[in-house]
A and B are shown apart, each in its own frame.
Chain A
Amino acid sequence: MDRFSVFSSRLVEKAEYFTSGHRACQGCAEALAVRLVMKALGRDTIVAMATGCMEIISSPLPTTAWKVPWIHVAFENSSAVVSGCEAGMKAMMRKGKLNQKKINFVAMGGDGSTADIGMGPLSGALERGHDMLYVCYDNEAYMNTGIQRSSATPFGASTTTSPAGKKSIGQQTQKKNLPQIAVAHDIPYVATACSSFPFDLMQKVKKASAISGPAYIHILSVCPTGWRIQPHDAIRYGRLAVDANVFPLYEVENGEYRLTYTPYKVLPVREYLKGQGRFRHLTDKEIELIQKNVENDYAKLLKKCGGQG
């Protein structure tokens, strides 16, 4: 049934578990992603969060934006912390020390936390098979510390540690493909999502939480501050990323790939890059190169989806 659930704005959970009043920048689509994820997960959830924007903006002592049990320990270890929560509760429930209850164990981290410093712990947690969901909020740089590059920063983006200059295009490496790394662990569920597509996002989170075993969701989370766009454009840029096939929406269930959204009309990548301060230095030739890369990557993905498209 879960597979076919239908969303309309009136059916969306009204309750908020990540509440307003937090300190995210205006137009932060990462905070929106967290809010949507929490709506889909509901109250019976324990969240372990990595250091980063979302942790800082939601928990300045003595306040909290969290209505579910929430723990932050450090930058690289939310996957290990949630492993411990899951293991602890599992043991206590089995031994009768705690009443039986279905709880969603969810780890959350940014792209820096996930793709770089927390890669080992994440791999360990996925490999061990905990009943958990890992959500990566990918805003394509270390935003909390001032827009430094991560290995998930896209080719050509200018950040404070991959600045564009006379001798550099900015980020010189291709974006690390985290969902593929998750898939390589042979876990039951992997998906990409974007907070500009809220129903798709929530449906995937619901599916992931219903599955037993590890699941991984990678959410493109537009950051107006780091991408140097207007706050009111955050949702639009999320849509552009998806409609230009820069960030395709798909899911992988038990190894089976499926696109969950196909653009009605595929936009040129230029439309997506245009207006983003982090890409403003790119020449036509460089944009052409990025266009080619996007097309290649999409073709590879389509093949995995059995040619569907």
Chain B
Amino acid sequence: MEKARKGIEVSIALAEAAAQADVDVVAAYPITPQTHIVEHLAELVAEGELDAEFVPVDSEHSAMSVCCGSAAVGARTFTSTSSQGLALMSEIFFIAAAMRLPMVMALANRSLSSPLSIWNDHTDTMMVRDAGWIHVFVENGQESYDHTLWAFRVAEDPQVMLPVAVNLDGFILTHMIEPIEYVDNQTVKNFLPEFKMKNALHPDNPVSMGCFGMPEIYTETQMAREEGIKNAYPTILKAWEEWGSLTGRYYHPIETYKTEDADYCIVTMGSYGETAMEVVDALRDEGEKVGVVRIRLWRPFPFDDFRKAVLGKQALIVLDRAISFGGPGGPVASELRSALYGMEGAPSIVNYVAGLAGRDVARDDFRKIILEGKNKAYAHDTDGFTLYGLRG
């Protein structure tokens, strides 16, 4: 059945997904390239199309703090930020996960200063990689819309109770106009039950949240967090499956493209996946046995799915969008290296960092990265990383 698709800016569609989720509280602070998302929500509230409290806060730090308070009383909560905004709120970002406060953030990925840059890469999100949020990366407008609704469903599930960040590449996605298929409100209602928080702050059921932990108990609280995010995995899968049965769009933690008979693969996360697939198509025509592995679920990291997808291949060329300075290279590659370390049939890994702060990585660049990366892998030249496109 062909459904109606609208040509619409991705930010607007994402905001409308949040509105369809009937959010109660939106708290956010302006920062490019996230702004269109919250501007549109403010407009929907102003026009009476969304019954929610739009809290125009004094900073991102306060945005995340308001979201914590709102989630703690059991309200459906949405926010959005980028880059410096995420850095400023990072203190509270960590606490939101530690306190198991469900909320959804559209994280329009952008580079961190300095030099100041408003353009896209993954340096902001990598900074909060270990905060305990569920992180998903989307590749296009439809996925942005779909995952906003999916994120509420996962975050608020009693088995999960964690904040979820929907990572979408700034500008590359946020400012694009794409054909997007909306689901109707009834479908949203069926997919996304009302948020009923068990121990919400309420005078009829007094609870203390965010207590002080002595060394005798801190360790145990951290293990509880680790188990909590790992246990979210089945719910994550179930939510995708249900979404698929409602919309025909099925998603998976690790998505593969032409990998079955591939000797080697390029690994991407975020919007680069689509370009990678196009380039792989072309290379296939030239006889290259190459495929694409796209990481959709970043936290909790789907170790088994990833290993299943790549064990037995000869090489992986991992494309990172951030650098861990003085460290092992790109954060994605270093994780994948450790995920495969010592495993039988583990492919060797070549790491490229590319597309920092909006530096374009076009098809030709992908082609170069893939072919050069393959040669490096076969020559056992796999140490460290290469900063692609660096001008001399």
Contacts and interface: CB of A to CB of B under 8 A. Distances in A.
Contacts of B194: 97
A92 B75 contact: yes
Interface in B42-94: 51-53, 55-59, 61-62, 65-75, 77, 91-92
A61 B52 contact: no
A64 B211 CA distance: 8
B58 A46 contact: no
A45 B27 CA distance: 23
A11 to B, nearest CB: 23
B65 A88 contact: no
Contacts of A82: 69
B208 interface: yes
A85 B71 CA distance: 8
Contacts of A74: 65, 91-92, 95
Interface stretch (B212-220, B231-239, B263-271, B274-282): B212-220
B107 to A, nearest CB: 19
Interface of A: 43-46, 48, 55-56, 59-62, 64, 66-74, 76-77, 80-92, 94-95, 97-98, 101, 103, 120-121, 123-125, 127-128
B203 A88 contact: no
B201 A123 contact: no
Contacts of A46: 73, 201-203
B286 to A, nearest CB: 55
B203 A45 contact: yes
Contact of B72 (A85, A97, A120, A124): A85
A255 to B, nearest CB: 23
Contacts, number: 171
A121 to B, nearest CB: 5
Given A88-B74, A120-B58, A95 B24 contact: yes
Contacts of B205: 69
Interface residues of B, number: 46
B25 interface: yes
B210 interface: yes
B75 A77 contact: no
Contacts of B75: 87-89, 91-92
Contacts of A125: 62
Nearest to A77: B65
A77 B53 contact: no
Contacts of B61: 76-77, 80, 121
B73 A85 contact: yes
Nearest to B75: A88
B206 interface: yes
B65 A128 contact: no
Contact of B201 (A76, A85, A95): A85
A74 B67 CA distance: 13
B209 interface: yes
Nearest to B213: A61
B55 A128 contact: yes
